[in-house]
C-alpha cells in the first residue's frame, strides 16, 4: 500500500470518526435494535430533493455495507469502538471510536497493525502521479512522487486499487478516469472528492 500521508490510513486519522450505521453487532450487543429499513427511510426523507436517484442509490450502497465493515474491523482487525449504550442522548444510528469524536487512532492503528502482521508492505509519503501501462494499455503499476524529496518511485503490480480522498465518490472524475465504474459514486457535488 502506498500512502500520500506519513501514516498508513492518511487523512482517516483526521476524521471525526462518526460512523453513520445501524445493524452492527456492536449495536445489537448494546441492546440497540434499530430497524435499518426505518433508519434508511428517515435519512431518505430528510435529504428530500437534495439527492437525485444516482446519489440516493450510492448512499444506500454505503448504508447497506457499513455494518459489515464495522463488524469486520472490530472482529478481524481489532478496531476499538465506544459502547453505543454509553452514548449521551438518544443517538441510535451511529458508532464512534473508542474515545469518542476524533479518536480514529483506536480504529486505524489496530487495522494497520493487523494488516502489516498479515504481510502487508507499505510505503508512506508518496503521491500517485500516473498509471504505468504495458504495450497493450493494461495498467501494470503506478508512478509516485516522494513528497519530501520529489524523487520518482515506480511500483509495478499485478493489480492496482486507487483509493483517494473521495475520488470514487465523484461520478464525473470516475467517468473520465475509470468509465466502467462511472456510476459507483455520487455526482460532482460531493465536496470531499479530490
When computed from its CA atoms, the radius of gyration of the chain, rounded to whole angstroms, is 19
The pLDDT tens digits of the residues spanning 82-97 come to 999 888 776 788 999 9
If 0-12 CB within 10 Å is exposed, 13-18 middle and 19+ buried, where does residue 170 land? buried
To the nearest 10 degrees (0 to 180), the angle between helices 53-77 and 105-117 is: 70
How far, in Å, CA of 60 to CA of 71, rounded? 18
**E strands present in the chain:** 2-3, 19-20, 94-95, 123-124, 126-133, 139-146, 152-156
Instruction: Assign 167 a pLDDT band (cuts: 50, 70, 90).
Output: low
Q: What percent of the chain has pLDDT over 90?
A: 47
pTM (predicted TM-score): 0.74
The pLDDT tens digits of the residues spanning 13-42 come to 777 888 889 999 999 999 988 889 999 999
pLDDT value at residue 188:
44
The pLDDT tens digits of the residues spanning 87-146 come to 877 678 899 999 988 899 999 999 999 999 999 998 999 988 899 999 999 999 999 999
Amino acid at each position: 500500500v502506498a500512502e500520500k500521508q506519513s501514516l498508513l490510513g492518511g487523512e482517516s486519522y483526521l476524521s471525526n470518526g462518526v460512523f453513520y450505521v445501524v445493524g452492527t453487532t456492536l449495536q445489537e450487543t448494546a441492546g440497540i435494535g434499530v430497524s435499518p429499513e426505518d433508519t434508511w427511510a428517515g435519512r431518505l426523507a430528510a435529504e428530500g430533493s437534495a439527492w437525485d436517484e444516482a446519489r440516493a442509490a450510492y448512499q444506500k450502497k454505503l448504508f447497506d455495507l457499513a455494518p459489515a465493515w464495522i463488524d469486520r474491523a472490530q472482529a478481524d482487525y481489532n478496531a476499538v469502538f465506544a459502547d453505543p449504550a454509553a452514548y449521551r442522548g438518544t443517538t441510535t444510528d451511529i458508532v464512534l471510536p473508542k474515545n469518542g469524536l476524533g479518536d480514529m487512532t483506536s480504529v486505524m492503528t489496530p487495522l494497520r497493525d493487523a494488516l502489516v502482521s498479515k504481510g502487508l508492505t507499505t510505503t508512506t509519503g508518496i503521491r500517485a502521479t500516473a498509471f504505468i501501462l504495458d504495450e497493450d494499455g493494461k495498467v501494470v503499476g503506478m508512478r509516485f512522487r516522494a513528497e519530501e524529496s520529489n524523487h520518482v518511485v515506480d511500483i509495478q503490480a499485478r493489480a492496482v486499487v486507487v483509493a483517494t480522498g473521495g475520488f470514487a465518490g465523484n461520478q464525473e472524475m470516475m467517468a473520465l478516469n475509470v468509465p466502467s465504474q462511472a456510476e459507483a459514486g455520487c455526482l460532482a457535488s460531493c465536496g470531499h472528492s479530490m
